[in-house]
Amino acid sequence: MCFIQYYNIKKLQNTSFNSIPKQFLRNNQLCLWKYEQKDNYKLKVPYGISEKEEVQRNLKNKNFWINLQDVRNLSEEDKNKFGLGIMLNVFF
């Protein structure tokens, strides 16, 4: 189980990521997320970036967690498609 705090990437870029504590930006404690429809409701589903630099839906592998530089390197399409999450507590 993990707890994730969610942010909008586009809004964060406009505020220079000031609303996120610095310790999370320096470490690989970030993830991406996007809404996915399940039955009659929307879920915020977390994603990571694989070693092949592909966005994947697997956060159990800590190697897929990202840092601030990874977020800055995202394409404009991905910045519009995904939000930003912070891995706060992780119990795997």
Q: What is the pLDDT of residues 49-60, one digit of tens each?
A: 887 778 888 777
Residues with Cβ within 8 Å of residue 31, at least 6 apart in sequence = 4, 46, 47, 48, 59, 64, 65, 66, 84, 85, 86, 87
Q: What is the pLDDT of residues 4-52, one digit of tens each?
A: 566 666 655 655 566 777 777 777 888 888 889 989 998 888 888 887 7
Question: What is the pLDDT at residue 40?
Answer: 92
Q: In this structure, what are the phi and psi dihedrals at residue 91, rounded to the nearest 5 degrees?
A: -130, 90
Average pLDDT over residues 60-76: 82
Q: Which tokens sit at 79?
A: 């910045």
**What mean pLDDT, rounded, does the chain reach?**
76
Question: How many Å apart are CA 39 and CA 46, to the nearest integer?
Answer: 18
Question: What is the pLDDT at residue 89?
Answer: 62
